[in-house]
Chain A
Amino acid sequence: MTEMIHKYPKVAKNEETKPFWDAAQEGRFLVRRCPACKEIHWYPRTLCPLCHKAETEWEEHSGEGEIYTWTVMRKSPTGPFALGYVKLDGGPHVYVRFRDGVTEGLEIGKRTRMVFDRISDEDVYLFADLA
């Protein structure tokens, strides 16, 4: 696990997203797919935000994707960090922060994977890393 240098707030979980965070503790990346339109969306919601025809279902995703856009925030008291949008394989674009320390070698189209890093005794949080 990467040592956390930034302070992260307590993760805002709710009844609808609890399964995501439970799986995250085991390092599994869950997304929701709609049985009607067959699409995965992001962030996870029960009623499909794309077709509104059905309740979506959890499924595990490889977490693999590629960079759609990125930036490195230089003005940060705890050092630079990277943010971006990653396009998940077969799925949606996800707004995500890169794992602490990953600020070099970022390019549009580069392969990525989702990771969960521990940010407190209770919580892990979702980050991207270069594949």
Chain B
Amino acid sequence: MSIKRKACIAGIYEYPLRKCPDQSIWQLHAAVADGALKDAGLSWEDVDGYFCGGDAPGGAMAMADYLGLTNQLTHYDTTDTGGSSYVMHVGKMAEAIVMGKCKVALCTLAGKPRTAPPTPRVPGAEQGFEGGYNGTPPNLYALAARRHMHEYGTTSEQLAWIKVAASTHAQYNPHAMLQDVVTVEDVVNSPMIADPLHMFDCCVVSEGGGAFIMTTPEIAKSLGKPIVNVLSAAQFLKGQAGGHGMDLTTSGLAVSGPKALELAGVTVDDIKYASIYDSFTITVLMQLEDMGFCKKGEGGKFVQDGNLISGQGRLPFNTDGGGLCNNHPVNRGGMTKVLEAVRQLRGEAHEKVQVPNCDIALVTGIGGTLTVRHGSAAAILERG
């Protein structure tokens, strides 16, 4: 059974603030849900499916209770693979709709890591052997960047082009946390955080969140909004595998990416716009290789000279400014990746970054920690 063209993203909303000292986490979830429902032209009473990740305190049961959705949900799902959860939910929501478990599915993400640090994920069995090392996203992703440079000669300047492209797009987003266009020199001269990653290789830490609504094609057509079809979604977990088969230059997207393309019946040549998970510049570079936009090891050449800049390069990416410049709410970038892909397919991106004739878009997610264990997800969306 396929999900292809059997579910549509009908509503989206991104919270406008990047720092939210006066709002509760729950209040933010409610606000983004309300925004997405209004965007879709649907009401709270229509929601019969709810999907969330680890940012929702207490999971779907507690959050649905707060949102006033208990006693009406026929499907609910808490899945936490970090920031990729919301890209994975694209597939899970479509599957639930295709299976008849719900008709109007809501997915929310919200939080405020700057003013109320999220509760750490409950650790797994690895805790005894890793928990004391103070491994954090910058230093753990640096391990991949170092290895990629060693094996393929990738340079800091090449990685910097990814940030340059994101910043070029962010200047047109009035809500973006960082709106200044930066140069390659700015990136490589920014403070070293964890060799070889500089401050500008890292995404922002922002508050707020976002939400999207998925529904059946019949309901979507009745709403009068541009139709955005789900073509496919795929996921793959990658980790240390007992310490064997270690390859820190490849992400799980090397499996989930091609799988999503195959299920959608498209190739990378059909992708007009890509929301690529950008926790760090190296995350983007590896995923572009793993998706097949270029050969493994040639990501550095692929991204340089503005190839990711809308209107200039082969693959416009993260035209909202991405996690690198716009928003990476609750340290989880998957939600905003979905939202910008929908804007592009609707033709609602900023005119300076809107991709002409944008009919097929890719969304990717890498959640957890790239070099330790991560969940990867890819979804392919189509303008209806």
Contacts and interface: CB of A to CB of B under 8 A. Distances in A.
A68 B131 CA distance: 20
Contacts of A11: 128, 131-132
B372 interface: yes
B127 A74 contact: no
B46 interface: no
A69 B150 contact: yes
B191 A45 contact: no
Interface residues of A, number: 44
Interface in A85-115: 85, 87-88, 91-97, 108
Interface string B116-158: 0000000101111111111110111011101100100000000
A109 to B, nearest CB: 9
B146 A43 contact: no
A26 to B, nearest CB: 18
B99 interface: no
A2 interface: no
Interface string B50-89: 0000000000000000000000000000000000000000
Contact of B146 (A13, A42, A69, A81): A69
B146 A91 contact: no
Given A42-B240, A50-B242, A71 B128 contact: no
B277 to A, nearest CB: 20
Contact of A72 (B144, B191, B194): B194
A96 B133 CA distance: 7
Given A95-B130, A97-B132, A108 B191 contact: no
A73 B139 CA distance: 6
B224 interface: no
A92 B243 contact: yes
A73 to B, nearest CB: 4
Contacts of B192: 74
A70 B131 contact: no
B372 A12 contact: no
B157 to A, nearest CB: 19
B285 to A, nearest CB: 15
Given A70-B146, A71-B146, A95 B135 contact: yes
B194 A41 contact: no
A13 B246 CA distance: 25
Contact-residue size bin, chain B (C-beta under 8 Å from the other chain):
35 or more
A85 B143 contact: yes
Nearest to B148: A69
B242 A85 contact: no
Contacts of B142: 71, 73
A62 interface: no
B358 interface: no
B378 to A, nearest CB: 25
Nearest to A50: B242
A6 B127 CA distance: 18
Given A12-B127, A43-B128, A83-B133, A108 B244 contact: no
Nearest to A74: B192
A40 B192 CA distance: 36
A49 B134 CA distance: 25
Interface in A1-60: 6, 8-9, 11-14, 17, 21, 39-45, 49-50
A70 B197 CA distance: 12
A73 B146 CA distance: 13
A53 to B, nearest CB: 13
Nearest to A127: B133
B268 interface: no
A59 to B, nearest CB: 15
A74 B195 contact: yes
26 contacts: A9-B132, A11-B131, A17-B128, A17-B129, A41-B244, A42-B240, A42-B242, A43-B243, A49-B241, A50-B241, A68-B246, A69-B143, A69-B144, A69-B150, A70-B146, A72-B195, A75-B138, A83-B133, A85-B246, A88-B243, A92-B243, A93-B240, A93-B243, A95-B129, A95-B135, A97-B135
Given A74-B194, A95-B133, A95-B371, 18 more contacts: A11-B128, A12-B128, A14-B128, A39-B244, A50-B242, A69-B248, A69-B371, A70-B143, A72-B194, A73-B138, A74-B191, A74-B195, A76-B134, A83-B135, A96-B133, A97-B132, A97-B133, A126-B129
